[in-house]
Amino acid sequence: MRWPWIVQLTWGLPQTLAGFALLKVVGRRQAHFSFRLACVGEWNLDAGLSLGPFVFVPHACSRRLLVHEYGHVVQSLILGPLYVPLVVVPSLVWAGVPALAQWRERHRVSYYDMPIEHWASWLGEKVCGEPALW
């Protein structure tokens, strides 16, 4: 076992358990594979989600999205139990509230301009050495 998994199973336990449970639900019907130290599950949604070391992406997603989502894996390592309230909840609100989506479109603001998402792309690029979504 590598040290990041030990950290995810202790410091990042809440999101790791949630990601594992989601993988069990998604993984029965969809493909899954490894990317660096993450377990990636494909799903039918048109968005990515990272919970601990578990990443969920659309089928045939771009490598850049995968690198961005891996940045969230690194955020989970850094923030531990604060990951869900500081990253997951704000990201879901930023992505899921129709008024915010309309505001982003009206003002030509990228989803990835949100500081948390920008940080994830930056971390993903630094760790993976590849470009991420911006």
pLDDT tens string, the chain, 134 residues long: the values are 578 778 888 899 999 999 999 988 876 667 778 899 899 999 988 999 999 999 999 988 899 999 999 999 999 999 999 999 999 999 999 999 999 999 999 999 999 999 999 999 999 999 999 999 88
Tell me the pTM. Answer: 0.92
Could you tell me the residue ranges of all domains in the chain? 3-128
The confidence score (pLDDT) of residue 1 equals: 56
DSSP-assigned letters across all residues of 8-36: HHHTTHHHHHHHHHHHHHHHTTS-EEEET
Residue 43, SS3 per DSSP: strand
Question: How many angstroms separate the CA atoms of 43 and 27, rounded?
Answer: 8
The confidence score (pLDDT) of residue 31 equals: 74
The confidence score (pLDDT) of residue 24 equals: 87
The confidence score (pLDDT) of residue 28 equals: 67
Residue 57, SS3 per DSSP: strand
The confidence score (pLDDT) of residue 9 equals: 84
Percent helix, strand and coil across the chain, each rounded to 5? 60, 15, 25
